[in-house]
Amino acid sequence: MAPQGPWIALVGPGSDAAQSDLAHAEDAGAAVAEAGAVLVCGGLGGVMEAACRGARSRGGLTVGLLPGSYRADANGWVVVALPTGLGEARNALIVRCADALVAVGGGWGTLSEIALALRAGLPVVGVDTWQLARDGIAVDGVVGAADGRAAVEEAMRRLGHGAQPRVS
Amino acid sequence: MAPQGPWIALVGPGSDAAQSDLAHAEDAGAAVAEAGAVLVCGGLGGVMEAACRGARSRGGLTVGLLPGSYRADANGWVVVALPTGLGEARNALIVRCADALVAVGGGWGTLSEIALALRAGLPVVGVDTWQLARDGIAVDGVVGAADGRAAVEEAMRRLGHGAQPRVS
Amino acid sequence: MAPQGPWIALVGPGSDAAQSDLAHAEDAGAAVAEAGAVLVCGGLGGVMEAACRGARSRGGLTVGLLPGSYRADANGWVVVALPTGLGEARNALIVRCADALVAVGGGWGTLSEIALALRAGLPVVGVDTWQLARDGIAVDGVVGAADGRAAVEEAMRRLGHGAQPRVS
Amino acid sequence: MAPQGPWIALVGPGSDAAQSDLAHAEDAGAAVAEAGAVLVCGGLGGVMEAACRGARSRGGLTVGLLPGSYRADANGWVVVALPTGLGEARNALIVRCADALVAVGGGWGTLSEIALALRAGLPVVGVDTWQLARDGIAVDGVVGAADGRAAVEEAMRRLGHGAQPRVS
């Protein structure tokens, strides 16, 4: 009855996403749905909207955790929209709900979600997203992928093809 | 595509629910689904589980906001289970997601949800739940209903039969 | 160095407090400080402001957990003001920080804090506050006190005069 | 009566801090107190403890927002310890309380706080912390400083020497 697959958090910029980010996000969303996974995101526009549209094009389940208090803020492709009223603190909830995280592009909010996911030990795959270093040396953490579909496939592979998700 | 109806929060005790509470909760859950509304709850056992089972018996959508960090804590009738990791602070999120609240039985956690819902101006309907007074005088707030189905019907009526939900 | 006493949450209405509520709150705040306890509250006006003023008149430490995002929203008697940006979800944080709770008067928000404190097993003492019943029978929970000072003294007594606070 | 200065968030690793991180953090804490600012942190060990010790050595006010539910988890130099029970979601509260952020060293949790602070438009100064890039090009955001004291001085300078803090 309930969705059986893992939950993939799809994070990235809202209003200032690049065209290529939007294309990657839509492909990623479609791949999430094809894999039988649930897509969870921040529920707003830009990368979030493109990812939800992609997932819905394949009949997937999309969950949006909104920063504000109004359900109507969700983009039109979110099936289950939760107005949290927590502001940016909702980023931690997105990560907590996820078994893996895929970042496409990204500003500071996206970086906070990448960091929280790595803190929690989740697989994190990125397309055109942040590069992290300490003392001039690149730090492993975000696995790079060439495009949105490849990113989701890599995330699913790291979850054992969804066979052993962390919490489902 | 997305559920169009309002969200009804169904709250009540977990482990120490009375048999009559469970029966009312299951009927209430079924009525929520029949009304085309979304059922949101704390996702655990007792009243929450009975309500989700009732909603699923009619094909309804059930959302569980768990206090802990593990999705597996959700009862088996929750379609969309979110491990919030917020403890009892998640009660405020249940209320924030809801257009109306139905309480069946209830302990202290239920009382906190009733209070937050009244604070937010939501319709609150109760079956065998708390009676509130100040200075020995009953305080209006929780609308009494005879059973679970009547409670949901009253909540829907106060939402204008779902025609004008607060935030959808 | 750090305050050694327990933390007493002082809760009650903001803008619509009765004059007697304000007087009780100011006395209660003074009693908290005299007992060497820390006063934690919602940081706004009405009962919260009166309680902080009372505590400061005896040199006590006052902590305000604000619902909004601006420190300037705090009343002038809050020493440590934290803008949480969590809205009413901050009520759960007030309770989590407290070893006991004193309610003076109160609306729905106050009732939510009383309920969360009882849920957490804290001593709860009230002056002119909510009366709770189930099936027409009063439910123990909130210990009544005649005035603000007596309420704090009762709370301290239930904490073993502060000798064994829950978490300090 | 209340502390007048801005709030500086001091963030960095707990258990796995380098010796140089601890030295920078202690100096930074002392500089925060000398500047009349309030030090807010996660309240635990490592960089957090060193910073609090530095601040207390100058009589400063230290606030710790703990991830767990027990006040006793705080290091011994925290004056005001708040057990939030929010887990890593408390990182967002640390940032929300702050007028500027200083990072010393840092793991993933620290990176999440840096990102949230930049998202909120706060000045962020770092010592031996994360370097951020997109498309192989360094992204401005974290202002580098040579040591803990210099970091705090730079943060205060960017706040107009504390004359115009964001929210105080």
pLDDT of the residue at B167: 44
Share of chain C above pLDDT 90, in %: 89
DSSP string covering A101-148: EEEES--HHHHHHHHHHHHTT--EEEES-EEEEETTEE-S-EEE-SSH
Return the beta strands (E) in B44-127 as ranges.
62-66, 80-83, 100-104, 124-127
pLDDT digit string, tens, across residues D148-160 = 999 999 999 999 9
Calculate how close chain A gets to D17, using CA atoms only, in Å: 14
pLDDT digit string, tens, across residues B96-115 = 999 999 999 999 999 999 99
Structure tokens at C119: 């849920």
**Average pLDDT value over all residues in chain C:** 94
pTM for this model (two decimals): 0.94
pLDDT band for position D4 (cuts 50, 70, 90): low
- C-chain CB neighbours of A87 within 8 Å are 69, 85
pLDDT band for position C120 (cuts 50, 70, 90): very high
Amino acid making up residue A6? P
DSSP string covering C57-102: HTT--EEEEESSS-GGGS-TT-SEEEE---GGGHHHHHHHH-SEEE
| Mean pLDDT value across residues B144-166 | 84
Structure tokens at A27: 């492909």
pLDDT of the residue at C165: 42
Question: Reduced to 3 states, what is the DSSP secondary structure of residue C30?
Answer: helix
pLDDT of the residue at A165: 42
| Mean pLDDT value across residues A92-108 | 97
**Torsion over CA: C63, C65, C66, C70 (sign):** positive
pLDDT of the residue at A3: 54
| Mean pLDDT value across residues C118-128 | 98
Q: What is the ipTM of this complex?
A: 0.93
Are the CB atoms for A112 and A105 separated by under 8 Å? no
Calculate how close chain A gets to C93, using CA atoms only, in Å: 13
Largest Cα span, chain D: 49
User: How many residues are there in chain D?
Assistant: 168
Q: How far apart are CA C76 and CA C87, in angstroms?
A: 20
Are the CB atoms for C94 and C11 separated by under 8 Å? yes
Cα–Cα distances (Å) from C108 to B112, C37, D67, D160, in that order, read 9, 26, 28, 42
For residue D121, the 8-state DSSP code is T
Cα–Cα distances (Å) from C162 to C38, C62, C153, D156, in that order, read 11, 17, 10, 39
Structure tokens at B8: 């009804």
Give the nearest chain C residue to A86 (CA atoms): C86
User: How many residues are there in chain B?
Assistant: 168
Q: How far apart are CA B47 and CA B26, in angstroms?
A: 8
| Mean pLDDT value across residues D131-136 | 94
Angle between helices B47-57 and B19-34 (to 10 degrees): 40
Between strands C100-104 and B100-104, the pairing is unpaired
Are the CB atoms for C60 and B65 separated by under 8 Å? no
Return the beta strands (E) in chain D as ranges.
7-11, 38-41, 62-66, 80-83, 100-104, 124-127, 130-134, 137-138, 142-144
pLDDT of the residue at D37: 97
For residue A67, the 8-state DSSP code is S
The CA angle A42-B8-B137, to the nearest 5 degrees, is 125
Q: How far apart are CA A73 and CA A66, in angstroms?
A: 7
pLDDT of the residue at B67: 98
Structure tokens at C14: 């903001």
pLDDT of the residue at D162: 46
Query: Who among C87, C119, C131 is closest to B134 (CB)?
Result: C131
Query: Who among D38, D80, D97 is closest to C83 (CB)?
Result: D97
Question: Reduced to 3 states, what is the DSSP secondary structure of residue C20?
Answer: helix
pLDDT of the residue at A53: 98
Q: How far apart are CA B40 and CA A93, in angstroms?
A: 17
* Residue keyed to tokens 């924030």: B96
Query: By the CB < 8 Å criterion, does C87 face chain D?
Result: no
Q: Determine the residue among B66, B70, B86 to mutate to test chain D binding: the one whose Cβ has the most chain D Cβ atoms within 10 Å.
A: B86
Residue C153: count other Cβ atoms within 10 Å of its Cβ.
18
Q: Does A94 score more than 80 pLDDT?
A: yes
- C-chain CB neighbours of B87 within 8 Å are 92, 96
List Cβ neighbours of C72 (8 Å cut-off, separation of 6 or more).
D167, D168
Q: Does C1 score more than 70 pLDDT?
A: no
User: How many residues are there in chain C?
Assistant: 168
- Chain C segment 60-79 residues within 8 A of A by beta carbon are 69
pLDDT band for position B3 (cuts 50, 70, 90): low
pLDDT of the residue at A164: 40
Q: How far apart are CA A25 and CA A47, in angstroms?
A: 6
Q: How far apart are CA D46 and CA C154, in angstroms?
A: 39
Q: Determine the residue among B8, B56, B77, B84 to mutate to test chain A binding: the one whose Cβ has the most chain A Cβ atoms within 10 Å.
A: B84
Are the CB atoms for B63 and D64 separated by under 8 Å? no
Ordered strands of the B100-104 beta sheet: B80-83, B62-66, B38-41, B7-11, B100-104, B124-127, B142-144
**Residue of B12 and A135 predicted with greater confidence:** B12
pLDDT of the residue at D165: 42
- Chain D segment 4-33 residues within 8 A of B by beta carbon are none
